[in-house]
Structure 1
Amino acid sequence: MTIANAFTFGVRIRIVVFFFCFNALLYMSFSILRDDWRRLAAYHLYQSTSNVTSDDLGSDTVASNIVENVAPSAVTSNLPPKPQFEGKANATLVFLARNSDLQGVLRSMESVETHFNHKFGYPWILLNEEEFTEEFQESVKSKTNASVQFGLIPSRHWYQPDWIDEAKAEQGRNALKAWNVIYADSVSYRNMCRFNSGFFFHHPLLQPYRYYWRIEPDVDYFCQLQYDPFDYLKDNNKTYGFTIAIEELEKTVSTLWQAVKEFMEQYPEYIHPNNALAFLSDNGGETYNLCHFWSNFEIADMDFWRGEAYTKFFEFLDLKGGFYYERWGDAPIHSIAAALFLDKNELHFFNDIGYQHSNIVHCPQQPAFLTGSCTCNRVLSIDYRRYSCLPRYNKMLNGKW
């Protein structure tokens, strides 16, 4: 081979290598852009879709065909379009706690402040049936830059009423204890359920506020919130927000639904024509399927609880004595009222708020994770497990499981 031929051959080799590398670079760039586009498409789809079904979009454009592995729950909940970064709503964070709950209170406050309130500064209100100790108050104040108020619950709103037949109540407690039902023999737990059902929103410290976010000791939040849930409710005509929907223990509410049916017969004017009865009952209201929104997390409008329909509803149920003769909880009471008296579109599933209470977890599915803002394990989420009522909620709202 001559020198000239060798040179020509070398040039050709360099050209071939150059085009090979160039094509490889183009392919890699295209792959990255394609993946970014998928993430962006899912994120914007999640922002812009509320209660979207395949019938609305057409089979070729449903979310699962745009982005792989987008969970059904992801297309039934909105993520508001832009952050607010300052608390403007007439709202407060509400804690019902005892002095003995201090460490659990501090843990929950730290989680809420870290994931949300350090940016928005909403005030805290803590309520107790006894006076908070100075140690408790100082420790709580050290956990936030927001204002903190401590309130005493009026005795008439907390303790078992005199008209309750104590012998009958004790019989009910013993029956539940024999069934190993949690809090079976606890009168204080029943006091709490009755207070949360009918009185907390009337406390003097809460009177200036419209919206509240209920917090409990020893809970965890997992997602950085880049928007204000209170503003979301207000701006989107929502009244009640939740993260977990599960079944109640049947033995704790044995006669509740019969009482609810009696109320509906006496006061049909309070039942909204576009209600969420299908979330509560699988047979048009004949029986209760035990589904309810877990009220240890709820973000809601207190004007609803203070309104005429709910006031009459609570008073009607309270006189039945079921808080003490059985173990009626505030969660089914709130849930049944919201489902019956509100337009079903006033309910909101805060899918993007990761939350854990006890051993029950809600962890957002995609595309909330595409933003990298959540730290929980999606495998542990209760959303589509046996005792979850979220599929029923989705079916009620969208007509599909």
Structure 2
Amino acid sequence: MLARNKEVNEACSSIQQIEDRFNNVYNYPWVFLNDEPFSEEFIRRTSQLTNGNVSYGVIPSEHWNQPDWIDEEKASSGRWSLVLQNVIYGGTPPTIIFYRNMCRFNSGFFFRHKLLQQYKYYWRVEPDVKYFCNVDYDPFLMMQDQGKVYGWTISLYEWGATIPSLWETVKDFVKANPHYVAPNNSLSFLSDDGGESYNMCHFWSNFEIADMDFWRGEAYTKFFDHLEATGGFYYERWGDAPVHSIAAALFANSSQLHFFRDIGYRHDVFQRCPQGAQHVQGKCWCDPNDNFDYRENSCLKRFEALES
């Protein structure tokens, strides 16, 4: 969990739900990261909610703060452009800087943190989210046994104004490094014209269960370095969700991606609620009629087409 001290109430809510619905059986460890030292209150209140080991880490400044080589005048102009378009997190300080730092950190650095080096898989948990159902199996073992590298619950369209040059940057990388593209990739999830343009579909990365060795591998490392060199995380507002999604769809085989149909989850206004027998078996408390899966701005049908 990436969290700030002021989010202690929201963090505790998410932790308790994960513990009640899953981790009270498995006692997996928690790792909390912050761009500043955690307060005594945050440590005391969060650590008492789990029987698993708990670690608290500070993010190195070079992994968090805007790099010195970024042209601040150009970055400021980009932020103002998004303000004029009424894009969320577009330009109101200090949220705008925090959000861009967070997206860059989640894209390229969280899996390099010293506290995470001993781990292969992670489950990303956000403060102030809802988990509606029991998870009565081990998703980490499932990922390992089935050779999965990336798991998700909600997919939707990105706001195009935040990533105007991202796809051209991706195409430049792929053109120079075609050997990194998986033979049975999921390009059709990302593009409706064979890769000429990006349809904006992505997996919502505020929930993800994934293999950090995939991010640590040569393909993704060089991919992130290519993106980083353009400054797009600051000159535009590239999110870790499209960055992770594009990489997973291109550099992994489609069979290595997993949709967690049995996990009920809500973040902000978006909710997915398991249906039918899965709702009953998971003892879910969400309203099955409030489900994002097949809403107009959901990309699930595109993913299901890969499986058919």
TM-score normalised by structure 1 residue count: 0.75
1:127 equivalent in alignment to 2:37: no
Deviation at 1:375, TM superposition (A): 1.2
Q: How does 1:2-401 map to 2 (within 5 A)?
A: 95-185=1-91, 186-371=96-281, 373-398=283-308
Partner of 1:67: none
Letter in 2 for 1:119: V
User: What SS does the corresponding residue of 1:348 show, helix, strand or coil?
Assistant: strand
Deviation at 1:383, TM superposition (A): 0.4
User: What SS does the corresponding residue of 2:182 show, helix, strand or coil?
Assistant: coil
Q: Deviations over 1:82-127 (max 9, x none)?
A: xxxxxxxxxxxxx001101101100100111111011110000000
Q: Deviations over 1:194-238 (max 9, x none)?
A: 000000000000000000000001001011111000010001111
Whether contact under 8 Å (2:133, 2:279) holds in the other structure is no
Q: Which moved more, 1:239-248 or 1:370-379?
A: 370-379
Distance change >3 Å, CA 270–CA 132, structure 1 → 2: same
> Using the alignment, how far apart are the partners of 2:281 and 2:205 within structure 1?
27
Deviation at 1:365, TM superposition (A): 1.4
> Using the alignment, how far apart are the partners of 1:205 and 1:372 within structure 2?
32
Deviation at 1:371, TM superposition (A): 2.1
Deviation at 1:366, TM superposition (A): 2.1
Q: Deviations over 1:33-62 (max 9, x none)?
A: xxxxxxxxxxxxxxxxxxxxxxxxxxxxxx
> Using the alignment, how far apart are the partners of 2:8 and 2:61 within structure 1?
22
Letter in 2 for 1:277: L
Letter in 2 for 1:389: C
User: What SS does the corresponding residue of 2:276 show, helix, strand or coil?
Assistant: coil
User: What SS does the corresponding residue of 1:378 show, helix, strand or coil?
Assistant: coil
> Using the alignment, how far apart are the partners of 1:178 and 1:113 within structure 2?
42
Q: Which of structures 1 and 2 has the larger relative contact order (alpha carbons within 8 angstroms, sep 6+)?
A: 2
> Using the alignment, how far apart are the partners of 2:160 and 2:141 within structure 1?
36
List gaps (5 residues or longer) in structure 2: none
Deviation at 1:264, TM superposition (A): 0.6
Letter in 2 for 1:334: H
User: What SS does the corresponding residue of 2:119 show, helix, strand or coil?
Assistant: coil
Deviation at 1:397, TM superposition (A): 2.3
Q: Which structure would you say has the larger Rg?
A: 1
Deviation at 1:367, TM superposition (A): 2.5
Deviation at 1:374, TM superposition (A): 1.2
Aligned pair count reads 304
Deviation at 1:135, TM superposition (A): 1.0
Whether contact under 8 Å (2:129, 2:266) holds in the other structure is yes
> Using the alignment, how far apart are the partners of 2:117 and 2:55 within structure 1?
13
List gaps (5 residues or longer) in structure 1: 1-94
TM-score normalised by structure 2 residue count: 0.98
> Using the alignment, how far apart are the partners of 1:371 and 1:154 within structure 2?
43
User: What SS does the corresponding residue of 2:230 show, helix, strand or coil?
Assistant: coil
> Using the alignment, how far apart are the partners of 1:372 and 1:220 within structure 2?
14
Whether contact under 8 Å (2:123, 2:209) holds in the other structure is yes
Deviation at 1:372, TM superposition (A): 5.4
> Using the alignment, how far apart are the partners of 1:235 and 1:256 within structure 2?
34
> Using the alignment, how far apart are the partners of 2:306 and 2:228 within structure 1?
28
